[in-house]
Chains A and B, each alone.
Chain A
Amino acid sequence: MNLEEKIRLYFKEAEVYRSQSLLDEALDKYRMVEKLIQENRKIQNKKPLLERVAARIAEMEKRCKKENKPAKPPPVSDEAQSLMKEMFSFDDPQTKGSASLGGAIALAQFGQYDKAIEEFNRLLECSELRFEAAKHLLQCWISQRYSDYAISLFQKWKKTKFLPLDQLEALRNQLQGMLKKEGIERDLSDIEVKKTVEPDSEVEDEDILDINSIRFDLPQGPDKGRRVELEVGFQSGKFIKMIIPREEKSLIQSIKPGDLLKQIVFYSPVAIFSGTGFVSSKKEISSGPKRGDYSLEIKIISISS
């Protein structure tokens, strides 16, 4: 085989690998072609040839880089999520409702955390599944890098004796293990008598604009999904305070300290942005003209755009 033929053959090979997204293989071959062209003196008019090959190499390198990034599962449609849930729910005849548990675990394994969390929250109601659901729920939050929030949930369960004591103890061990895997060492003993855990905020006080009002959808309760808008009455950096009028019964009921609001829209005089907030307190106002209304405090945890 003469040199020209060899180059042509290798190039063709590389092109096929490229078309099949066999990126490493294509890259190897393009590099071989490049080397052959460079090293050989007989070839005339090398420049356009080399340019063409170099462009391909650059393209392959770019695609490889994208491919090798650690994969975060993309969100999928509601329909696909229900399908995943259905397909991977294996019934364990020993436990009632275990099929739904399996489905929710599958969703979490596929990285569909929001949907999985919704399912686990529902399963918490079922006492036989409560422990398993609670465990996976904590894991879902930790996997999304909301470890503090997971701890605050556990603290809430512990304070309210949401599970029998032996199960709470087992759950504490599990949680400790999950945190350790993420490189987090936390002492969780007697957490129920400690100050309420608040998730750390990713944002600096000075990065937060003045906020006039906020909007979010009710995360739970009888009016789940209802859109709510509240005016901000007081702001100190990432802490904002709002008044909820006493007539807003369903709003007052559905929001509790310790809740995480994952989609809040913040309105400032100069920009609109969205983010996550932690309900740090909700108190009934006991004196003054606003007596009977509620004061709600939210800590801004992160800002997305």
Chain B
Amino acid sequence: MAVINLKNRQIECKIVYYGPGRSGKTTNLEYVHRAFKKQVAGRMISINTDGDRTLFFDFLPLGLGRIKGCDVKVQLYTVPGQVKYASTRQLVLKGVDGIVFVADSLTVRREKNMRSLKEMHENLKRMGLDIRKIPLVLQFNKRDLGKKGLPVMSVEKMTYDLNRQLKVPFFPASAISGQGVGGTLTQVLKMTLQYLQQEFKWA
């Protein structure tokens, strides 16, 4: 639910990083926080973590400056991925404008990816949103582990599992080194702003 104020020419939108536990959502935000200093508009807030697990959410505000005459602000959120925090995920998803689904490339996490995507689909439906319409980008994270000899799924397999119906843009990534993180974010922002532009005709 973007806040759009055409009089002051201000836009504020919300991007949520969704995905199974331990897939690297928080790591994505941490990298954005480090690497996009110019766009970062405030502190990254991680509300209560247990070790490195997210219990509530992470939050990072960005300012993109003027786009087509509008001052654009973006709020990035992550959900907690552990199964038991289902209701928190619903809450964080409220008012979402664009989504990054962070999937884990490790073969052992195949089921978890699919289950999490399905759950997200249901949550969106419950909120009256259509997964095929909302700006959505997939990220296949932890690609580096394949090179280290761990069993990971090929991009092709992951596309089949997660994207054969959705057909949305996807990015292989390694959030820990930052590879693919910027590309993912840029793409979701582009799609989200386009979507809002069409919905609200601000440009």
Contact = CB atoms under 8 A, between A and B. Distances in A.
Interface of A: 9, 12-13, 16-17, 20-22, 25, 28, 67, 70-71, 73-74, 76, 80, 83-84, 87-88, 90, 106, 109-110
A109 B45 contact: no
Given A16-B150, A90-B95, A21 B51 contact: yes
B151 A84 contact: no
Interface stretch (B33-41, B65-73, B83-91, B181-189): B83-91
B54 to A, nearest CB: 12
B47 A83 contact: yes
Interface string B52-63: 110110010000
A17 B51 CA distance: 15
B56 A22 contact: no
Given A74-B55, A109-B87, A21 B94 contact: no
Main secondary structure of the interface of A (DSSP, over half): helix
Given A21-B22, A25-B108, A83-B59, A110 B88 contact: yes
Contacts of A67: 82
Contact of A22 (B45, B91, B106, B151): B106
Interface of B: 1, 22, 45, 47-48, 50-53, 55-56, 59, 82, 84-85, 87-88, 91, 94-95, 106, 108-109, 145, 148-151
A71 B59 contact: no
A22 B22 contact: yes
A13 B150 contact: yes
A83 B48 contact: no
Contacts of A12: 149-150
A84 B22 CA distance: 23
A21 B52 contact: yes
Contacts of A16: 145, 148, 150
Nearest to B53: A21
Contact of B45 (A20, A71, A80): A80
B97 to A, nearest CB: 14
Contact of B94 (A13, A83, A84, A90): A90
A148 B82 CA distance: 33
B48 A74 contact: yes
A106 to B, nearest CB: 6
B84 A76 contact: no
Given A17-B106, A21-B22, 9 more contacts: A9-B149, A21-B53, A25-B108, A71-B85, A76-B48, A84-B47, A84-B56, A90-B95, A109-B87
B185 to A, nearest CB: 20
Contacts of A13: 150-151
A261 B99 CA distance: 44
Contacts of A84: 47, 56
Given A109-B91, A110-B56, A22 B47 contact: no
Nearest to A13: B150
Contacts of A106: 91
The listed residue with most B CB atoms (<10 A of its CB), out of A20, A22, A70, A80, is A20
Given A9-B149, A110-B88, A90 B1 contact: yes
Nearest to A16: B150
Contacts of B55: 71, 73-74
